[in-house]
Amino acid sequence: MGMMMGSIDTTIVLLALPSITQSLNANLSQSIWVIVIYLIIVAVATTQLGRLGDLFGRSRLFNLGLVVFTIGSALCGLAPGMLFLIFSRAIQAVGGSLLEANSGAIVADTFEPARRGKAYGYLSMSWTVGAMVGIVLGGILTTFLGWRFIFFINLPIGIICLIFSRRYLKDTTVVKEDLDLAGMALLGIALSLISIGLIDYVGIGASALNLALVCIGLLLIPVFIWYESRIPAPIIHVDTFKNKVLRSSILASFFQSMGYLSLAFLMTLYLQGVRGLSPLDAALFMVPGYILSSVLAPTMGGLADRFGARIIATLGIALMCVTVILYMTLGVDTPLYIVVLASLFSGIGSAMFWPANNSAVMANASADRHGSTSGLLRTMANIGTLGSYVLSITAASAFVSRETAFSVFLGTSKLMGGLTPAFLTGLDAAFGLSLIILIIAGLFSLTRGKEERSANSWA
């Protein structure tokens, strides 16, 4: 329920952005920050908050995440202006980070390695169901009740979830170590500088400021690694990456997120800007994939338990590549059933990759590091998501202005006349880049080796 609530907000906000922009008299750059402030904070915070779960109890931190996310949702719904809404989204993101960082660790604590794939399948199912529900609710609530209700809908969900969570989730492992405040600060500053610099680049193009921010952030990463390797209780244990299965699985997740999670964004640009569909109609063309993914995820996770993650996850990425290839065939008059067919391949691929890959990571993490490893996995995936957004908007707007690309994404304008062929060329470039990145993810997945799934393999 907690993961579903967080997932709902990833899609429900996209459909409501035009209404939010008009209602709060905001400009385009402010509206984009309603999305990216959430991405930045989740990317920065998940590793740190996963480590806090190791130290103070994962269920306790998960419950705190439910409270913070619900309060943030209420503030979003009450926002009198755009700056207050962006601030409230930041609070919501802190809650979402607590949920993401600790949910995977709670599953790992609860189920032995031989059953985790199926358990992660149900967690993946909740995420895809939430994304699908968000698409439908976003259109219905925005149309009939107003955009504020897309946030108010989280209040009853959050309260009910908290009641169940306090009753059923119990901490079994708490690590007695000092808190690595310096490591948290180093990693947080590095990721924040990189994220803010990349988002600024997306909005205005290259500048001395955003290039400096990214370069300083990148230079701080090796400093962070050096520091972490020399203290007794680091936020990220560097020796974690000596395990080939774990290392390759985390890198596969990173590149998969970077190559795959921009597809929904790119298809929104195509269906709204090139084909002239409404935001709700555009989203509904991708719903079949979400449905198929949610139905198949537990079964695919169970297959990963039986046969290992390597083949299942790699086939999932291969199907994502097929999805991208189908998207590259789209033109001005292409039958829209191609979009539905591609979404079905995407749904099967997602159901195969995420449960299998997550279970492979946690099967190779020791019990006292479940929280930090789960947080690291989510951090890498979230950084990949942020990079996916940057790469896709940069490639898609290579032949038209950024202002045009953003306007199409927000649903405030449609491409007309001579712009359409140029914009399609940009979309094809973005799809081609996604395909290359997904192939890299597939190589990491294929070469990870075979992980052990015995009950004591992680001890």
pLDDT digits (tens, 9 = 90+) for 23-73: 888 776 677 788 778 877 887 777 777 777 777 788 888 999 999 999 999
Tokens of 323: 């999805």
How far apart CA 155 and CA 178 sit, in angstroms, is 35
How far apart CA 336 and CA 355 sit, in angstroms, is 30
- Domain membership of residue 196 (yes or no) is no
Least-confidence region, from 142-156, 261-275, 405-419: 405-419
Average pLDDT of the chain is: 81
More confident residue, 315 or 236: 315
- Domain membership of residue 201 (yes or no) is no
Q: pTM (2 decimals)?
A: 0.79
- Domain membership of residue 457 (yes or no) is no
- Domain membership of residue 190 (yes or no) is no
Beta strand residue intervals within 297-338, DSSP E: none
CATH classification of the domain holding 255: 1.20.1250.20
How far apart CA 170 and CA 58 sit, in angstroms, is 8
- Domain membership of residue 453 (yes or no) is no
How far apart CA 331 and CA 444 sit, in angstroms, is 32
With a pLDDT cut of 70, the percent of the chain lying above it is 86
Tokens of 270: 């195509």
Query: What is the tens place of the pLDDT at every residue in 80-131?
Result: 999 999 999 999 999 988 888 788 778 877 887 777 777 887 887 787 777 7
- Domain membership of residue 225 (yes or no) is no
Mean of the pLDDT values across residues 179-186? Answer: 79
More confident residue, 457 or 432: 432
More confident residue, 243 or 175: 243
Contact status, residue 376 vs residue 250, Cβ threshold 8 Å: yes
- Domain membership of residue 215 (yes or no) is no
Mean of the pLDDT values across residues 344-370? Answer: 82
Number of structural domains found in the chain: 1
Range of the domain at 54: 2-180+231-446
How far apart CA 260 and CA 178 sit, in angstroms, is 38
- Domain membership of residue 399 (yes or no) is yes
Query: What is the tens place of the pLDDT at every residue in 156-173?
Result: 989 999 999 888 887 766
